[in-house]
A and B are shown apart, each in its own frame.
Chain A
Amino acid sequence: MTDLLTPKRLTMRIILSLAVLAAVMLVCSLVGTQKVSLKAVFAGPGDEPGQNTDYEILVRVRLPRVILAALVGAALASCGVVLQAILRNPLADPYILGVSSGAGLGATIALLSGITWSFWGGSPIAFFAFAGAIATVWLVWCIGYFTGKLQVTNLLLAGVVVNAFFTAVIMFLMSIAKSEELRSTVLWLMGNIAEKETNVLMASAICILTGIVLLFSICYRLNILTLGEEEAKALGVDTTKTRVVAFGFAAFVTAIAVSLSGLIGFVGLIIPHGVRLVSGPDHRQLMPLSAVIGATFLVIADTIARIIIAPAQLPVGVITAMVGGPFFLILLAKHTRKVGWLK
């Protein structure tokens, strides 16, 4: 009697969770420091720009934030799943292997050098953060390759070393920074969901969603990868190629997310765990569901961050850590028998 995952069952679950996400996004965009009435929004933008404030607030301030939070949450959670699978490490998050320090270094350099040149309407910080992330990942992989043919342990070590080094460079740069740039740098590193222009949002959405779909196509190979190198090879999986491809896409998607929103922690680490406790370790289901749940989680976290100490805002990373940590501990305590990582 087999109870395997079928495309139909998976589609149903994904659609259901997407419906939940849509509902959450709608509710959260109606929540904020100002009261906004849905009826007033539907009246449209009005003849003069800025006339219908409800519309402006919802469409230009809240919706972009909510959409961005959803995209970043989906990106981080799905990449967390992939990284945990290919590194066979429950503590892996999408920033491991260099993305975080690389993005941070890129952003810090951009902020401190006062570059105002803007890259095609996106901010220079974002561009440099993205470039920094990709360059660092490539560096880590080169080190991993030349020291041990891309074995998991070598990659992890290379990632740790590079992260430590680049973080030190960031700290050095911050110590010679002017005060206001320093503050900006710190804020960026803490992670921050802000309003972005529509075109930037659309371009990022395309990149992130495409990346997630591509990652989905190798999820069944990730399942096999968890059996171990030899077993996976015996089943016909090219383990090295799968790891390179998986990591390449995951790094790309994460770099985009980070360049948009800074370093938001916890989402990529705990959402995969949480979803795995409920849906099991089959990556064909785990990854898409994690993406949707991650999106929902970050939308809610960002909404809380927006309103909890209004009119000021907390960095969203504070909420993800404070909410995510205990929640995960509870889940783990209750269900620790259901799923084992080792043994």
Chain B
Amino acid sequence: MKKSLATLVVVFVFVVTLVFLMWHGLPARENTAKMAVPPSRIQRIVSLSPNLTEILFALGLGDRVAAVSSNCDWPAEAKTKPKVGTFWQPNTETIIAAKPDLVVCESFDQQRMVARTLRRTGLNTLTLRVESIGELFSAITEIGQATGCSPAAERLAANIKSQLDRIRTTTSLSRKVKVLWVMQPEPLRVAGVNTFVNEIIELAGGQNAIAPTINQYPSVGTEEIISCGAEVVIQSAMGTENIHKQQIAAEQFWSRFANLPAVKNKRIYVIDADTVLRLGPRLPQGLQTTAQCLHPELFTQPKPRQGTEQTDD
């Protein structure tokens, strides 16, 4: 019996040590930065996400942006900034070496974990969730607060809002057009109802052809497609090149669904994804493009065949 008593004591000590260690780590878990840098002293900002980069530039903070992630490509100046890894895999070391006063990033897992590591090294981070239009406005406000540009942020937000409202009002009187929004043709994945893409569809005077699903971006079977009755098919282009080619390929792809109103009426559009899938200051542009696809009769400009529009805010 002595042996089992000894074992019990050892196990007890072991468990206590472990608990103590884990508990000790609790204060390290914080959601706010250990040391908040006052907004006026923020001179070097690193952005890990293209839409956050666009917001920073739109707020006039472009020259304070020290580095961006590799897929930040707008405005043109952003492309010339030093890179700190990719959107899905930010490079912690490069970020630290860039000595930022503020790091802005999104709230999904990979970036959130990087933000945690950065906070432990004493860096100031701002994690934002930008997955709906409402969250876009909050993000703009928060960035404004963190960088001391609240007035500019308010103006930007108001500007975007008014443009969105204008388009919404224009389309609100018309009948809702059934839209199938294709994220990826093969394998076929569409945007479902719980997405910001759906918000755009609705603001543009449309209605998602696919019923609510568990997934946000479900893969949909052929039967569902045939019976969805979509009047317009919008496909977000992969990359900004060869949109024309993709348009032709898409029209060919969809020709097999001959019964769809969209196919019968030749209303298949491939549009540049950057303005419409990136929740940022260029959202009104994207909404405009979408609205033109859905309700061409309401907008004087011809149906878009190629990517970016030139409209400014």
Contacts and interface: CB of A to CB of B under 8 A. Distances in A.
Given A33-B94, A49-B35, A53-B96, A312 B85 contact: yes
A111 B215 CA distance: 14
A310 B84 CA distance: 10
B64 interface: no
Which of B35, B92, B216 has most chain A Cβ within 10 Å?
A: B92
B121 A49 contact: yes
Contact of B28 (A51, A179, A199, A313): A199
B215 A177 contact: yes
B109 interface: yes
B120 A202 contact: no
A255 to B, nearest CB: 14
Contacts, number: 113
A180 B109 contact: yes
A199 B21 contact: yes
A60 B86 CA distance: 20
A311 B86 contact: yes
A199 B99 contact: no
Nearest to B83: A311
A317 B91 CA distance: 19
B248 interface: no
A32 interface: yes
B24 to A, nearest CB: 5
B25 A200 contact: yes
Interface in B197-232: 214-217
A207 interface: yes
Nearest to A185: B109
A50 B110 contact: no
Contacts of B34: 49
Contact of A60 (B19, B84, B94, B120): B120
18 contacts: A33-B94, A48-B35, A49-B34, A61-B93, A61-B117, A120-B22, A121-B23, A121-B29, A176-B215, A181-B109, A197-B25, A198-B25, A203-B18, A206-B18, A206-B21, A207-B18, A311-B84, A311-B89
Interface of B: 14, 17-19, 21-26, 28-29, 34-35, 70, 83-86, 88-89, 91-94, 96-97, 99, 108-110, 113, 117, 120-123, 214-217
* Nearest 9 A/B pairs, CB to CB: A49-B122, A199-B25, A50-B122, A121-B25, A120-B22, A311-B85, A56-B121, A311-B91, A34-B93
